[in-house]
């Protein structure tokens, strides 16, 4: 392998998502060669039917608006009227019966009434006003019926219906990243974290999760809870036992993991639940479960530690909706953060009373999730807080699409797509296809030492580890083959390697990646043999 024609040492501190741009530039540097970007996790699949339903609902909403005021001026409509809206909607469905998305809308209006006990007329009024975006979000935290729908979806997909949907609240936000920003900010504003506090992070993980706490905004001390690659990225008990430290305020975890794409085992879930129950009832857990829908038999930590956990979910990956910026925070109505706020010192309570005094006459009764809503708009602008209503309507339609799909047909299609790609990569690489019931397979980590050892033995594997810098190898692969991977080390992985997303290329592309990486192994082995002469 030739030395990289660029000094990569100065980029060691960069996030892998920034290093990606350097690798893309190298991969794109040659004419008449296809660049294969296996770095970013943006899927190249998306849910079409719920989008079609969204746009059809938008057409109906426009017609509803035209019933009012349009007789006065061209291009001017009015606010929709709930009176007779259900019958007008059914007539609209009949008129456009064969159009894409109409079938789902017909199922939705039946489902919300028959299965969820929601008035179809009230649901239609909220959805029509929401998709028109003609009113501020009211309530600010979540549209009333939309929250009901999102809770039902999360209960089914994340919680196995182990937590009653009526026992927790939802805050729809601009994707999972916004959720994290809001949570961190409100933890600080409500004096629940302070500079120097300890925060435990399940490692490896999505890079921003160990970058945010070290910012001067928070200046937290990180304690790594290290997953073991030899245990298929499960957390050993001795690592989880670090959480017994009473100085650790928060445990952040991505489940299934990023970059390892492995869900937490039932044993680990039970161990954490028992630890929280017996030793750390004050521990706050933040779980990012965006990849949960890709895993078999998934259960969130929120399901086993509901009073101690905030669940963050994003619609971005499962529905192919990264550009929509759709996410949600779920918190139990009786949670550890609300309890902690109530026992703050008198001085801190007074400061928080002053902060939230413009919202309520009893600020000490304000739940943490509602404080997040206010904090997201610097408190004073709380009356204009909340996710845009068209976004909330799309979330509701995505959720209902999944709820109505009792056979999980859409989910099974996505799993087949990803697992075919996964199989093609490893088969063409020439290695056995790793199989484990906890793997979601959205990403895979290619461990350079392990791959080298599998082909030519432990001595060659050690030589690769000692002689080839991971970023140089990734750059060389990008420069010579046009394949972009992200460095595993950038996610806190203990071993050098590359993260490959199985979501954003086609099956034949992953087969090509496998073949090309096999050729790179052969090239490195030739260098190894030459070095021994």
CA distances to 163, 274, 293 from 277, rounded to whole Å, are 17, 5, 27
By C-alpha distance, which of 156, 52, 192 is closest to 404? Answer: 156
Model's pTM, two decimal places? 0.93
pLDDT of residue 3: 46
Q: How many CB atoms lie within 10 A of CB 258?
A: 23
In the 8-state DSSP scheme, what is residue 7? -
Q: How far is CA 77 from the centre of its chain?
A: 38
Listed residue (230, 234, 186, 229) closest to 340, CA to CA: 186
Q: What is the rounded distance in angstroms from the CA atom of residue 454 to the CA atom of residue 73?
A: 74
- CA within 13 Å, CB half, 119: 9
Q: Which two tokens stand for residue 493?
A: 């992985």
Would you write out the chain's pLDDT as a tens digit for each of its 533 residues?
A: 444 456 555 555 556 666 777 888 888 877 766 788 888 789 999 999 999 999 999 999 999 998 876 556 678 888 888 999 999 999 999 999 999 999 999 999 999 999 999 999 999 999 999 999 999 999 999 999 999 999 999 999 999 989 998 999 999 999 999 999 999 999 999 999 999 999 999 999 988 888 888 888 899 999 999 999 999 999 999 999 999 999 999 999 999 999 999 999 999 999 999 999 999 999 999 999 999 999 999 999 999 999 999 999 999 999 999 999 999 999 999 999 999 999 999 999 999 999 999 999 999 999 999 999 999 999 999 999 999 999 999 999 999 999 999 999 999 999 999 999 999 999 999 999 999 999 999 999 999 899 999 999 999 999 988 887 777 778 878 887 788 888 887 888 888 888 999 999 999 999 988 998 899 899 889 999 998 87
Three-class DSSP category at 52 = helix
447 SS3 class: strand
- What are the chain's domains? 9-35+409-532 (3.90.1150.10), 48-132 (1.10.20.110), 144-393+400-404 (3.40.640.10)
């Amino acid at each position: 392998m030739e030395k990289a024609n660029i000094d990569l040492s100065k980029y060691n501190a960069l996030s892998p998502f920034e290093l990606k741009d350097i690798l893309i530039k190298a991969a794109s540097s040659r004419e008449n060669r296809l660049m294969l970007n296996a770095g970013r996790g943006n899927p190249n699949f998306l849910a079409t039917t719920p989008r079609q339903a969204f746009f059809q609902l938008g057409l109906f909403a426009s017609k509803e608006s035209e019933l009012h005021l349009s007789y006065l001026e061209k291009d001017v409509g009015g606010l929709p009227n709930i009176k007779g809206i259900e019958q007008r909607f059914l007539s609209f469905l009949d008129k456009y019966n064969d159009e894409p998305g109409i079938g789902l809308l017909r199922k939705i209006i039946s489902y919300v009434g028959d299965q969820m006990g929601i008035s179809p007329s009230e649901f239609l009024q909220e959805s029509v006003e929401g998709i028109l975006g003609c009113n501020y979000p009211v309530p600010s935290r979540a549209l009333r019926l939309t929250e009901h729908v999102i809770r039902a979806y999360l209960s089914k997909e994340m919680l196995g219906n182990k937590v009653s949907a009526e026992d927790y609240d939802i805050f729809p936000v601009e994707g999972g990243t916004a959720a994290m920003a809001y949570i961190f900010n409100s933890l600080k504003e409500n004096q629940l974290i302070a500079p120097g506090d300890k925060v435990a992070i399940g490692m490896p993980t999505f890079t921003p999760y160990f970058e945010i706490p070290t910012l001067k905004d928070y200046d937290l001390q990180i304690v790594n809870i290290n997953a073991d690659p030899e245990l298929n990225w499960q957390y050993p008990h001795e690592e989880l036992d670090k959480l017994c430290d009473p100085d650790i305020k928060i445990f952040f975890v991505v489940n299934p993991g990023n970059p390892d794409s492995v869900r937490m085992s039932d044993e680990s879930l039970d161990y954490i639940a028992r630890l929280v129950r017996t030793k750390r009832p004050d521990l706050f857990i933040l779980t990012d479960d965006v990849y949960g829908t890709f895993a078999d038999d998934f259960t969130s930590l929120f399901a086993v530690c509901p009073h101690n956990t905030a669940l963050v979910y994003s619609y971005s990956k499962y529905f192919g909706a990264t550009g929509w910026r759709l996410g949600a925070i779920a918190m139990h109505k009786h949670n550890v953060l609300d309890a902690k706020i109530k026992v703050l010192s008198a001085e801190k309570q007074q400061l928080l009373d002053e902060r939230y005094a413009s919202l309520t006459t009893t600020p000490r009764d304000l739940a943490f999730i509602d404080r997040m809503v206010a904090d997201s708009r610097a408190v004073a602008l709380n009356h204009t807080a909340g996710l845009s209503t068209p976004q909330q309507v799309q979330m509701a339609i995505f959720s209902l699409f999944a709820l109505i799909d009792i056979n999980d047909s859409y989910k099974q299609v996505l799993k087949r797509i990803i697992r075919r790609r996964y199989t093609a990569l490893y088969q063409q690489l020439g290695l056995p296809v790793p199989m484990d019931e906890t793997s979601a397979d959205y990403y895979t980590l290619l461990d350079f030492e392990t791959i080298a050892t599998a082909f030519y033995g432990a001595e060659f594997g050690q030589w690769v580890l000692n002689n080839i810098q991971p970023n140089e190898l990734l750059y060389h692969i990008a420069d010579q083959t046009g394949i972009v991977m992200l460095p595993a080390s950038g996610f806190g992985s203990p071993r050098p390697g590359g993260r490959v997303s199985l979501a954003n290329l086609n099956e034949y592309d992953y087969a090509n990646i496998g073949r090309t990486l096999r050729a790179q192994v052969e090239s490195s082995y030739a260098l190894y043999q030459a070095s021994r002469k």
